[in-house]
Amino acid sequence: MNSLPLSALFAILALMLVLSAMFSSSETGMMALNKYRLKHKAKQGHKGALKAQKLLETPDKLLGVILLGNNFVNIFASSIATIIAMRLIGEAGIALAAGILTMLVLIFSEVAPKTLAALYPEKIAYPAAYVLTPLLKLFSPLVWLVNFFANNFLRVFGVNVKKENSDHHALSHEELQTLINEATGRLPKQYRTMLTGIMQLENITVEDVMIPKQDIYGVDVNEPIDAVIKRIIKSPFSRLPVYRDNIDQELLGVVNLRKLTPLLPKKELTLKDIIKATRPAYFIPETTTLNVQLSNFNQQKRHMAMIVDEYGNLQGLLTLSDLLEEIVGKFSTDVQNKTFTQVHLNHDGSMTLDASEFIRDINKTYHFTLPTDGPKTLNGLIQEELETIPPVGTCIRLEQYVLEVTQISKHAIEKIRLTQLPVED
């Protein structure tokens, strides 16, 4: 080296700085790659993505060859800088050369290239993969030796490199939800809402979205045929439960009104025809989650299920459209689609609601955060808090919400006034 001219030494030093920048940027670029976009590019046959994906399968080897090359060129650059300093200034120039080289490496070979790679990882990582792949093959024995000692050193602290790498990219339920929420601009709001609905199916039970027993629209075959036909004609639903006197005592089944429609214009419909067209009811427990029930609807070829509690008592019913609305949002104009027609907005900013409304539906419609881990309705929520049916005028506060009882019956709370208080800083 001492025999080389200064111009050649400066050229070698510049080359080492460029190589150092290449290794530094490739390290950051590889690690900053979006793993899911990388998989997508690789499936499309992108050669750079395929090579990068192959390298990232063994990150210890990838980092080994990058750091091996980076440290070699940095140390070699330091040696060249020392020789140059000795020739120009003498021994006093060694410290000065070290300081200048440190700044050059830091700026041009570390911070600048790594920042660029972090901003544009694909533009750096894919071309770098073409260089790193043959380097890894060329120096594989040396890389293996370095990784052997490094990986065994990590095992002392309980880190298994291969196992950690296999589990590293698995997303939890919460992380996937965050990924969907942050897809603003790249994924339309409608699709983000649908994906969120799908994610939440496993946390919602049929009890949360069912039509309560007292709101079920059905047909009592013990009524006069004229009243039954009138009820069928006015029905907003395509399927109706059929029962005698009381739906709790004798539920005959479910009738599809399409089977009865041809008989209505001819006025030939009889109670016998209705009972004959009735299909046995399909019962499910109230604790069934929506993701399970969606699969069950498909397997059973059903559109309606009757929901029972642990004692076999009827609690309500669930239709396939009710379930799908949890994914795609409201698409029905039925009278029982929970559109809150009984809500009255007061001048003071409060609202008067039916106490039988479902808390989940209120939260979703008005973006409230009322607790949903206990009772399903406002009536149940207040009674659980007070452990009694309170008199009119009773108020309770739940976080930033004030619930005031405005109307009661003998067995339940009928109306409440809900006021949302400003959030305290």
Please check whether residue 108 is in contact with residue 17, taking contact to mean a CB–CB distance below 8 angstroms. Answer: yes
Task: For the chain, give every domain's residue range.
Answer: 6-167, 173-202, 204-321, 344-420
Please check whether residue 210 is in contact with residue 318, taking contact to mean a CB–CB distance below 8 angstroms. Answer: yes
Long-range contacts from 356-359, C-beta under 8 angstroms, 24+ separation = 356/212, 356/214, 356/412, 358/208, 358/209
The answer to whether the Cα torsion of 283, 287, 293, 296 is positive or negative is negative
Q: Which residues pair with 358 in a beta bridge?
A: 377
Which pLDDT score, from 0 to 100, does residue 242 have? Answer: 93
Residues 204-321, CATH architecture:
Roll (3.10)
From CA 274, how far away is CA 258, in angstroms rounded? 11
What is the secondary structure of 333-399 as a DSSP string?
--TTS---TT-EE-TTS-EEEETTSBHHHHHHHHT-----SS-SBHHHHHHHHHSS-PPTT-EEEET
> Which amino acid, 425?
D
Please check whether residue 257 is in contact with residue 235, taking contact to mean a CB–CB distance below 8 angstroms. Answer: yes
Which pLDDT score, from 0 to 100, does residue 285 have? Answer: 94
From CA 133, how far away is CA 278, in angstroms rounded? 69
Residues 344-420, CATH architecture:
2-Layer Sandwich (3.30)
Please check whether residue 98 is in contact with residue 81, taking contact to mean a CB–CB distance below 8 angstroms. Answer: yes
| Per-chain mean pLDDT for the chain | 85
Please check whether residue 213 is in contact with residue 295, taking contact to mean a CB–CB distance below 8 angstroms. Answer: no
114: its two tokens: 């790594």
Torsion of CA 137, 140, 142, 146, to 10 degrees: 130
Task: State in Å, rounded, how far the first CA of the chain is from the last one.
Answer: 68
> Which amino acid, 395?
C
Which pLDDT score, from 0 to 100, does residue 184 have? Answer: 62
- Sheet arrangement for strand 314-319: 211-212, 314-319, 304-308, 283-285
With 0.75 as the threshold, say if the pTM is over it.
no
189: its two tokens: 């709001």
Helix (H) or strand (E) holding 308: strand 304-308
Q: Tell which residue, 251, 370, 235, has the closest CA to residue 315.
A: 251
> Which amino acid, 327?
I
Which pLDDT score, from 0 to 100, does residue 128 have? Answer: 92
Identical fold at 204-321 and 344-420? no
**pLDDT < 50 stretches in the chain:** 333-339
Which pLDDT score, from 0 to 100, does residue 317 have? Answer: 93
> Which amino acid, 246?
N
In this predicted model, what pLDDT tens digit does every residue of 369-424 receive, in sequence order? 888 888 888 888 999 888 888 999 999 998 889 999 999 987 889 999 999 888 76
- The strand pair at 395-398 and 401-408 is best described as antiparallel
Q: CA neighbours within 13 Å on the CB side: how many for 151?
A: 18
Residue 255: count other Cβ atoms within 10 Å of its Cβ. 24
From CA 385, how far away is CA 418, in angstroms rounded? 15
> Which amino acid, 255?
V
Please check whether residue 202 is in contact with residue 326, taking contact to mean a CB–CB distance below 8 angstroms. Answer: no
From CA 373, how far away is CA 384, in angstroms rounded? 12
